[in-house]
């Protein structure tokens, strides 16, 4: 199948490399088993014959979009735009507007579109995500919700696929995106072979990597609410009580928290308790019962369930991870 790799201004170097490495590995493994290549790769850009990456590398030669057909699969890596103002300025630039129109036309003509990190904003700008479930880079989720309120944003999963659109989370979730595409257009067996060939560990969720405080810092109201909750983590907390303390109605509290971080106030409390529990587990040898009590749970079993759901690991496994085995390097 024809894979068009769309290189936008300030494209992330690692995401480009991961895309090409995974696609080429899939091709190599197919050839080794007597099968034809899975991907025929064409690198394309809005204009000109070269693109400059986020690290300043000049990549080319490239095919300008004006001379390129739709292809079967368009892959859109993210770019180095890490803050809302940077993302908005990037999206409003002439090359991005051209790329957005081209991407919409390619999808209309039957192409599958796969976007990762800030590339998901380009897919949304092209009108490909309206009414669909999708994911994006977790720290830009508030901006994404603000701009594309009709998208069913899912930050729990690393990769979300719906119809002929696949989206992935932050930067190096491009690895997971490519494995999903190899599995879909090749086979699950081929994707598994690629993970072994490239020494990749597959990940299902990005929520365990998200730092909630990074999201709340983007909203003064949420910053104040976070400090309020953190000061009372060991106490029972109710929505009405939080609303009174924040001088808003319970309905307003629910709306503002949901809009900003995609959680209910009680789920926000749970996430903050989980993050604090993780800090205590990783930085101390406190018994789990004591950790649970310090973050507001009288029953350690409740904390264990939350950790399993939110980070996919038990307290014992998390403590084992904090003492990694020394990397064995053979000296000459």
- Residue 328: is its pLDDT beyond 70? no
pLDDT for the residue numbered 217: 67
pLDDT for the residue numbered 138: 83
pLDDT for the residue numbered 274: 86
Q: For residue range 4-53, list pLDDT tens digits in order.
A: 999 999 999 999 999 999 999 999 999 999 999 999 999 999 988 888 99
Average pLDDT over residues 173-191: 95
pLDDT for the residue numbered 327: 47
Q: Which two tokens stand for residue 277?
A: 């529990």
Q: Report d(CA 303, CA 312) in Å as an integer.
A: 12
Spatial neighbors of 248 by CB under 8 A, at least 6 apart, are 256
Q: For residue range 227-240, list pLDDT tens digits in order.
A: 899 899 889 899 99
Q: Report d(CA 181, CA 112) in Å as an integer.
A: 10
Confidence of residue 330 (pLDDT cuts 50, 70, 90): low
The structural domains of the chain, ordered by start, are 2-208 (3.40.50.880), 211-321 (1.10.10.60)
Q: Which range among 90-94, 170-174, 265-269, 274-278 has the greatest average pLDDT?
A: 90-94
Q: Report d(CA 77, CA 99) in Å as an integer.
A: 13
pLDDT for the residue numbered 206: 56
Query: What value does the mean pLDDT of the chain take?
Result: 88
Average pLDDT over residues 72-88: 94
Phi, psi for 7 (deg, rounded to 5):
-100, 105
pTM exceeding the 0.85 threshold for the entire prediction: no
Q: Report d(CA 190, CA 213) in Å as an integer.
A: 38
Q: For residue range 284-327, list pLDDT tens digits in order.
A: 888 999 999 999 998 888 888 888 877 777 788 777 766 555 54
Q: Report d(CA 260, CA 141) in Å as an integer.
A: 8
| CA torsion through residues 312, 314, 319, 321, sign | negative
pLDDT for the residue numbered 165: 98
| Region of residue 312 (left: phi > 0; alpha: psi -120 to 50; beta: else) | left
Strands 165-168 and 73-76: unpaired
Residue written as token pair 């080794």? 32
């Amino acid at each position: 199948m024809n894979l068009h790799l769309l290189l936008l201004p300030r494209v992330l170097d690692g995401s480009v490399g991961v895309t090409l490495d995974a696609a080429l590995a899939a091709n190599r493994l197919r050839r080794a088993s007597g099968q034809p290549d899975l991907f025929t790769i064409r690198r394309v850009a809005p204009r000109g014959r070269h693109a400059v990456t986020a690290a300043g590398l000049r990549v080319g030669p490239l095919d300008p979009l004006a001379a390129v057909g739709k292809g079967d699969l368009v892959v859109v890596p993210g770019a180095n735009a890490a803050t809302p103002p940077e993302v908005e300025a990037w999206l409003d630039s002439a090359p991005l507007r051209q790329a957005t129109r081209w991407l919409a036309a390619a999808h209309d003509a039957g192409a599958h579109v796969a976007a990762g990190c800030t590339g998901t904003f380009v897919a949304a700008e092209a009108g490909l995500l309206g009414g669909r479930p999708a994911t994006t880079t977790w720290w830009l989720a508030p901006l994404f919700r603000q701009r594309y309120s009709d998208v069913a944003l899912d930050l729990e999963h690393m990769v979300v696929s719906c119809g002929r659109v696949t989206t992935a989370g932050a930067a190096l979730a491009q690895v997971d995106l490519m494995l999903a595409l190899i599995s879909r257009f090749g086979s699950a067996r081929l994707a598994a072979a690629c993970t072994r060939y490239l020494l990749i560990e597959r990940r299902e969720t990005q929520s365990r990597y998200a730092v909630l405080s990074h999201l709340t810092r983007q909203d003064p109201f949420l910053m104040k609410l976070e400090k309020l909750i953190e000061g009372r983590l060991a106490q029972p907390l109710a929505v009405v009580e939080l609303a009174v303390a924040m001088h808003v109605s319970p309905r307003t509290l629910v709306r503002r928290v949901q809009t900003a971080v995609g959680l209910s106030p009680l789920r926000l409390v749970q996430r903050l308790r989980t993050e604090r529990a993780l800090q205590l587990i990783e930085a101390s040898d406190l018994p789990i019962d004591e950790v649970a009590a310090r973050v507001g749970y009288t029953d350690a079993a409740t904390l264990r369930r939350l950790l399993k759901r939110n980070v996919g690991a038990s307290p014992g496994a998390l403590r084992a991870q904090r003492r990694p085995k020394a990397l064995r390097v053979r000296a000459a």
